[in-house]
Structure 1
Amino acid sequence: MRILLAAVISTLFACRSEQKVESETYPHEVDSLQCRDLYDSAKWYLYAWHCDVLYKPTSDSLVSKPFSELELRYSRFLMRHDALILSFNFIDNGEVILPGMTRDNVPFATAVGFDTRTREKIFKASANVYFSCKGDSLNRYVNPLQPEVIDFIKKNGDKLDPWFRKEAKRRKIL
């Protein structure tokens, strides 16, 4: 009886630990809204839009590295009518990066809005400013995989943030 009880308990813990690993990959609300594809797309867009943009912190004038090397951490989501907004933060040494913390005060997008019916991106957001661009296929918003972005990813694959590198491999860029 004790052996059976021990087997049941260990099985329950094993099942539970597998579920925990899965839920650690995506935030709980992303799982509950069944929008993992939009979560991955939002991170991909943010990295692709900023991959070759240099981050120059005001706190250390010797540091200058592209945003593609920084962690992009999920912040929150917002549902507004048929729009889902997924917000992220670029992280440097465990701290959130704000535009005012850069030497050149360059605004950078940190959120992506999607139409939940069509699942298409409808805007990007940066510090309470929303941008939307249409038409021009040479625009990174419309088509993030511009030739210079692909070249940058290929040349810097070993330096990219681990998630960005893994996603570039999944999308067959690396």
Structure 2
Amino acid sequence: MKQLFAAVLAILLLAGCSEEQEERSPEVLLEKMEQDYLGQIARLGILDLYQEVKWRLYCNHCDVPVKNCMGRELRGVTYGMLDLKVFYLKYENGKGELAYTFIYDNSLQCSLEEVPGNKIHGIGFVKDGIKPLYYISAGEAGHISIKCDTMADISECPTRMINPDQPVVRKFLLKNRNKLNPWFHMQAVKRGFLPED
């Protein structure tokens, strides 16, 4: 009887540890964080802004190869194939910032710091504004102007953020439609960038 009790106790302890580890896993933490932010986004009434920025970020980086995903090199993977989750929201006095992170395999954050060109991963905004106040960069710049004519280096111009309807974006989408992130694919169809399946 004592042996049975010890075995049951050991199983319960292991199950409790396993549950606790699952609650702290990167997947669970990232999902919980995004759900919290999505709740705040809904309360602020900026769901359309959230979706539009997400779409533009996908278009901006869709064909860029992923070079660094928490120290992991991913061959043949581009940012358009990854998940994109909101990971930062700040709002006060009528102005806010909204930033996203690309995720591989539901748990690894993939940095934009090493990508060529702009490293935009979010925006500054006015709650009821149509255009962003500025773009948030993962690079040294921090903030990037929304006007290309004020930039010293035109290669940093966020052309695809300003207008996602670029031939290179459409070409990438058509060529890689079966590899795209499901949300990105659905939006591309909805917005007329891809024909319906």
TM-score by length of 1: 0.72
Name whichever structure is richer in helix by fraction: 2
Q: Which residue of 2 aligns with 1:27?
A: 38
Task: State the secondary structure of the residue aligned to 1:87.
Answer: strand
Within the candidate set 129, 148, 153, 2:173 is matched to 153
Say whether residues 1:132 and 2:145 are aligned partners. Answer: yes
Q: Deviations over 1:31-71 (max 9, x none)?
A: 10111100101101110110111112374446241100011
Task: State the secondary structure of the residue aligned to 1:53.
Answer: coil
* 2: CA distance, partners of 1:85 / 1:138: 17
Q: Deviations over 1:69-90 (max 9, x none)?
A: 0110111211254433211111
Task: State the secondary structure of the residue aligned to 1:110.
Answer: strand
Aligned positions of 1:10-25 closer than 5 A: none
Structure 1 residue 138: Cα displacement: 9.1
- What 5-or-longer segments of structure 2 have no aligned partner? 1-34, 150-156
* 2: CA distance, partners of 1:165 / 1:113: 26
Q: Which residue of 2 aligns with 1:15?
A: none
Which structure is larger by alpha-carbon Rg, 1 or 2? 2
- What 5-or-longer segments of structure 1 have no aligned partner? 1-23
Matched-pair contact (CA < 8 Å) for 1:56–1:64: no
Aligned positions of 1:73-84 closer than 5 A: 73-84=85-96
Q: Deviations over 1:82-132 (max 9, x none)?
A: 4332111111231112346xxxx2262221222323222222212371112
Identity over aligned pairs, percent: 31
Q: CA-atom RMSD, angstroms?
A: 2.6
TM-score by length of 2: 0.65
